[in-house]
A and B are shown apart, each in its own frame.
Chain A
Amino acid sequence: DTAVSQTPKYLVTQMGNDKSIKCEQNLGHDTMYWYKQDSKKFLKIMFSYNNKELIINETVPNRFSPKSPDKAHLNLHINSLELGDSAVYFCASSPRTDTGELFFGEGSRLTVL
Chain B
Amino acid sequence: GDSVTQMEGPVTLSEEAFLTINCTYTATGYPSLFWYVQYPGEGLQLLLKATKADDKGSNKGFEATYRKETTSFHLEKGSVQVSDSAVYFCAIFPSSNTGKLIFGQGTTLQVKP
Contacts and interface: CB of A to CB of B under 8 A. Distances in A.
B85 to A, nearest CB: 14
Contact of B43 (A48, A90, A98): A90
A45 B42 contact: no
Contacts, number: 57
The 5 closest A-B pairs by CB, nearest first: A100-B93, A104-B43, A41-B106, A43-B103, A104-B44
Nearest to B43: A104
A31 B98 CA distance: 13
Interface residues of A, number: 24
A27 to B, nearest CB: 13
A66 interface: no
Interface residues of B, number: 24
23 contacts: A4-B43, A31-B99, A41-B106, A41-B108, A42-B105, A43-B44, A43-B106, A48-B99, A56-B100, A92-B43, A97-B99, A98-B97, A99-B32, A100-B32, A100-B34, A100-B92, A100-B93, A101-B46, A102-B44, A104-B44, A106-B41, A106-B42, A107-B42
